[in-house]
Amino acid sequence: MLASLPAEPAASSFRRVSSNVSNADTELQQKLVPQQQDIAAGTAQQLTPETNQNQHSFEQQAPKVTPVPAVETSKLSGKEAAPAISVLCRHFTLGQLRSDCPSRVEAFTDRLEYFFKHPSHGRVHMVMYYRDFGTVTVKKTCLVFKIMTVLDMFTAHYNPEEPQHMLSIIFDSAKDLQQIQQGVQQGIVAYAAAQ
């Protein structure tokens, strides 16, 4: 003997769920209508964590932009104000791009910094943390290295998964190269030891 299940309980439970949803929608609309009226009237109350604990704002706040200080006083990592090593260079490559605009190359304990002249973005402040370094090699007076992350302003010119895409800095002298190479190696070793 086959017993059939009544269709009514399932339908009524669906109605209960949908009525709960419609009740929640109604409550949300009741909360938002006065806020929308205040906004239209120009008397909107500033939402703060103290006054708005249970309300949700659907508008996203604009992110606060903090200007980056000049390289000489850069404290991007918050650890130091002055680089351990600083030398002047004139030639840089990044993937398929080349820059012949002079810049100081500065080796900090956790990163390498310099400026790269991008054809459409102008002068770009390059900050490469040692934690992102892949291979590092030296060829005559050139430091060649790979950054293992995507570089935001260079996505069309640099792909970390492409073996031929590398970054290079050509130094004026072997002494300058040796100083920066030593700083980079110390930074990579320090990062690996901290892990």
The pTM score is 0.58
- Average pLDDT over the chain, rounded to an integer: 73
Are 147 and 160 in contact by the 8 Å Cβ rule? The answer is yes
Nearest to 158 by CA among 147, 173, 169: 147
Cβ count near 171 (within 10 Å): 23
Residue with tokens 């399932």: 10
Give the span between the Cα atoms of 118 and 66, in whole angstroms. 22
Are 103 and 170 in contact by the 8 Å Cβ rule? The answer is no
pLDDT in tens, 31-67: 544 544 554 454 444 444 444 444 443 444 444 444 4
User: Distance between terminal CA atoms of the chain?
Assistant: 69
From the centroid of its chain, how far is CA 146?
Answer: 18
Give the span between the Cα atoms of 116 and 5, in whole angstroms. 73
pLDDT in tens, 142-156: 999 999 999 988 999
Element at 80 (helix H, strand E):
none
